[in-house]
Amino acid sequence: MDLLLDIWQRMTTPHAALAPLTAWLTVAAAAAIVFFPPVWRLARHAITIVHEGGHGVVAVVCGRRLGGIRLHSDTSGLTVSRGRPSGPGMIFTLLAGYPAPALLGLGAAWLLSRGYDLGLLWALLAALALLLVQIRNWFGLWSVAVTGAIVFGVSWFGTPQVQGVFALLVTAFLLLGALRTSLELQQSRSRRAGTSSDADQLARLTHIPGLFWVAVFLGVQLGCVTLAAILLGFLQP
């Protein structure tokens, strides 16, 4: 009980904001991770975890039965849900994946703007634990477990300064990484017609071109980046 109380107190105690130079360097590091291909190929697995988690959460909210999530070594993933193969529930489930990392990044920015760096890290740990029970393949289990171990290590052993830098790094990575995945999606669509991407599945269900849905993804992501930058003081409203 004392341990739980100590954790709760640490989670709910605001940290001081990072120095402006440290904050900008942290965001620059996140951008380097996203836009440097060798690092991005590895880090993109974290975006896939959130992407598939977004599908899963919205599927459950829409009343669909979640059948499980698979994460693959090529950074692709698959979320299986049971229910009507068409209609609003399926549309919203498909719509949720690409915006999910940006929306999570916006929520993270809101917590950071109030100083809850450690609270954010523990919230991410809780989300990863819930996701873990839905994973249905070994690589997916390994991927989520390693991600959780990294977050736990920083949240448990890191100093407040390290926790603050890591929390901002994760936030900026989610926001910028979400944008890159949508750009990659459109590049992939332009090379191959009739793909099974979320945008193309939405196009088949709604009879609205896939390019429109890519634009929706990008619009949501850009909105999240802008709002997060305002919340964290990088932009003036």
Any idea where the domains of the chain sit in the sequence? 18-231
Q: How much is the mean pLDDT over the chain?
A: 94
Contact 115, 14 (CB under 8 A): yes
118: which 2 tokens? 């450690």
Res. 2 pLDDT band, cuts 50 70 90: low
Query: What's the rounded Cα separation, in Å, for the pair 69 and 80?
Result: 6
Of residues 85, 112, 83, the one with CA closest to residue 175? 112
58-64 own/partner pairs: CB under 8 Å, 24+ apart: 58/92, 58/93, 58/95, 58/96, 59/83, 59/89, 59/93, 59/96, 61/92, 62/88, 62/89, 62/90, 62/92, 62/93, 63/89, 64/89, 64/90, 64/93
Look up the pTM and report it: 0.94
- The mean pLDDT of 133-162, rounded to a whole number, is 95
Per-residue pLDDT at 27 exceeds 90: yes
96 band by pLDDT with thresholds 50, 70 and 90: very high
In the block, residue with structure tokens 């988690």? 53
